[in-house]
Amino acid sequence: MNMVPSRFNTIVERKKVSSLKIGFFDSGLGGVTVLSEALRRLPNENFVYMADTLHVPYGTKTPQEVLGYVKASVQTILKEDIKALVIACNTATSIAVAELRKEYKFPIIGMEPAVKPAVEMNRANGKRVLVLATPLTLKQSGYAALVSRVDDHGSVDSLPLPELVQYCEQLNFDRTELFNYFNHKLSSFNLDVYGTVVLGCTHYPFYKEILRELLPSHIQLIDGSQGTVKRLKQVLSERNLLAAPLTTGQLQEGHVTFLCTSQDKAYVYKMERALEIYAEHEKIYL
């Protein structure tokens, strides 16, 4: 018998909702792009962000390996008294979110490539959609089912970019190197026929600025961060789990606790730095 749901109920009853955190999980730095959106849209909440630094990247692992890694990491996050969990990783979501929802009672929000809104954006102009994601995400049956469900005219193409996760993990933003990388990967595509590029891995939005310069001006970039956080806020509201404004004894709003499976203090600093870099980058486009 799983005791986690009853433990969760006890925590909620014992503590004020505002003192509970929202958990975020990713294999590495990528989920920071979703966390940044959550900090902007849920300013009264506090967060715990965990990266599975022992096993990043997930996109080149087997589904069985990823499922085990995610389950182990969630056990650690539970020690932080969370009221909801965001799997801020498309690959981990596709493999583990269904299992996690069977096991735990608290809200678990997953991510999927933003194929549906991308297809809808292009209905009027007849342009195609290009999805950039990890190899494992693109291989999953859930991705194929998603495309089949929303793509009536066969307008969605996919491109795996496994190396981009490593660029991000290194906080590598060298313009020449990245321009060469993207030009090589996109060289076989006629970009004039595309109207939208989907960033289907949470690491990829770190490179929106470079992609905007490289891609034709008519192409729009879209990722799943806004939709994920919108869903998170909706679920918290429905369950009366939204935090009230700051009260005595509560941590400062917008506080983030960073954790990683390797317990590497240097990586914790890297996560903090990545959040600063991304938040500053996003201010340009708000």
* Catalytic positions, written as ranges: 89, 201
Beta bridge partners of 142: none
Closest to 200 (Cα-Cα) out of 157, 169, 171: 157
Eight-state DSSP code of residue 60: T
Structure tokens at 223: 């990722």
**220: which residues sit within 8 A by CB, 6+ positions away?**
121, 195, 196, 197
Q: How many residues does the chain have?
A: 286
Structure tokens at 262: 């390797």
Eight-state DSSP code of residue 241: -
b/e sequence 248-257, b meaning 16+ C-beta within 10 Å: eebeeeeebe
Structure tokens at 265: 């203090």
Q: Is the dihedral of CA 22, 67, 262, 265 positive or negative?
A: negative
**256: which residues sit within 8 A by CB, 6+ positions away?**
35, 39, 46, 47, 48, 49, 275
Under a CB-based contact definition with an 8 Å cutoff, are residues 53 and 224 in contact? no
* Secondary structure of 22-58 as H, E, C letters: EEEEECCCCCHHHHHHHHHHCCCCCEEEEECCCCCCC
